[in-house]
Amino acid sequence: AGWYFYSNETTPSWKKVNYNSVYKDIAGLLEDEDYDDGSYGPVFVRLAWHASGTYDKKTRTGGSDGGTIRHTAEAGHGANNGLEHARDRLEPLKKQYPNISYADLYTLAGVVAVQELGGPTVRWRPGREDKTEADCTPDGRLPDAAQGADHVRDIFYRMGFNDQEIAALVGAHALGRCHTSRSGFDGPWNASPTSFTNFFYTELLNSTWVPKKWNGPFQYVDKESGQFMMLPADMAFKKDSEFRKYVEKYAADQDAFFEDFAKAFSKLLELGVKFPEDAPVYEFKTLE
Ligand code: HIF
């Protein structure tokens, strides 16, 4: 006795965090009347997804584990433009809860945003560990919005999703907007970009989409008002008959969309993550 060099502290850092409390504090960061449509929720969802969507099932590389999206090497990928707004907004919480990993913080922020903007409960587990800049994935793993169904399938099959799951995920484009300063595209998908709804599907099917007349990248706007948009990759879900089956289902049945989205989004946030065996599954209660 007495010769142990290492500390006898054995509790891993992920166990020292009160995740219910982090959930509430992230929820408190959502609203800001000076940002976009008044909410950081949409960009939190995009951060969680871009942190996770680099996963490659063949090489078992990428994914949210490691929190590598915070490093300049990965943050600087073109697809990640604008995500500094989300990371900067969350940074004070990393100071407040030094034991949470960035990887857990960013994925949890996506869960909080989905739930607090009116979406389904998304099962989430803690225990991701942060890695170094050397673990960043190469550029090119996230989808290119200018392309169609074949490309969307290539990207999401690489992660291990099937057509039904891909079609369920894409409903998240009910949230937020495109920014010319980030992706080059412009506008929100519908009139309620801070509410999680099945409007992506209803708008896609029910509006007439015409090419936007402008000098920017090719995209669609709704013919009637010209205020709402679809990316070429979004339009693939209307044109491709296999995807369209699910689009029709989710447009008609919001509950089915919520249930399938929750499963697919939870799976996305866990791709490639080696969770500690005793990591509990959280189903956070939405506030109010
Ligand atoms: Fe997006 N997505 N996404 N996306 N995305 C953008 C914005 C958001 C694709 C491209 C874009 C998903 C899939 C795909 C969100 C969530 C998800 C933008 C605009 C582009 C170009 C960025 C900007 O200019 O600010 C493509 C090609 C995808 C494959 C089909 C996911 C399913 C829908 C996985 C997903 O969850 C959210 C939320 C936004 C809004 C961000 C904001 O700042 O408002």
The question of ipTM being above 0.95 is answered as: yes
Atom of ligand 1 nearest to the CA of 176: 44
DSSP states of the chain as a string?
Answer: -----S------GGGG--HHHHHHHHHTTTB-TTSTTSBSHHHHHHHHHHHHTT-BTTTTB-SSTB-GGGSHHHHTSGGGTTTHHHHHHHHHHHHHSTTS-HHHHHHHHHHHHHHHTT-----B-----B--GGGPPPTT-S--TTS-HHHHHHHHHHHT--HHHHHHHGGGGGS-EE-TTTTS--EESSS-TTS--SHHHHHHHHS-EEE--SSSSS-EEETTTS--EE-HHHHHHHHSHHHHHHHHHHHH-HHHHHHHHHHHHHHHHHTT----TTPPPB-PPPP-
| Per-residue pLDDT reduced to its tens digit, 150-173 | 999 999 999 999 999 999 999 999
| pLDDT computed for residue 10 by the predictor | 84
CB contact at 8 A, 200 and 173:
yes
Mean pLDDT, residues 96-102? 98
Q: How many Å lie between the centroid of ligand 1 and the Cα of residue 173?
A: 6
| pLDDT computed for residue 100 by the predictor | 98
Q: How confident is the model at residue 143 (pLDDT cuts 50, 70, 90)?
A: very high
**pLDDT above 90 coverage of the chain, percent:** 96
Q: How many Å lie between the centroid of ligand 1 and the Cα of residue 127?
A: 26
Which domains can be identified in the chain, with CATH numbers? 17-141+266-270 (1.10.520.10), 149-264 (1.10.420.10)
**Cα gap 163→157, rounded to integer Å:** 8
> Is the pLDDT score of 4 beyond 90?
no
| pLDDT computed for residue 5 by the predictor | 62
Other Cβ atoms closer than 10 A to 58? 7
**pLDDT above 70 coverage of the chain, percent:** 97
Residues that are catalytic: 50, 189
Residue nearest to atom 33 of ligand 1 (CA): 170
Which of 2 and 196 is assigned the larger pLDDT? 196
Q: How many Å lie between the centroid of ligand 1 and the Cα of residue 15?
A: 32
Q: How confident is the model at residue 51 (pLDDT cuts 50, 70, 90)?
A: very high
> Is the pLDDT score of 2 beyond 80?
no
| pLDDT computed for residue 288 by the predictor | 74
| Per-residue pLDDT reduced to its tens digit, 102-138 | 999 999 999 999 999 999 999 999 999 999 999 999 9
Mean pLDDT of the chain: 97
| Per-residue pLDDT reduced to its tens digit, 221-253 | 999 999 999 999 999 999 999 999 999 999 999
Residues with CB under 6 A from ligand 1: 42-43, 45-46, 49, 82, 143, 145, 152, 169-170, 172-173, 175-179, 182-183, 185, 231, 233
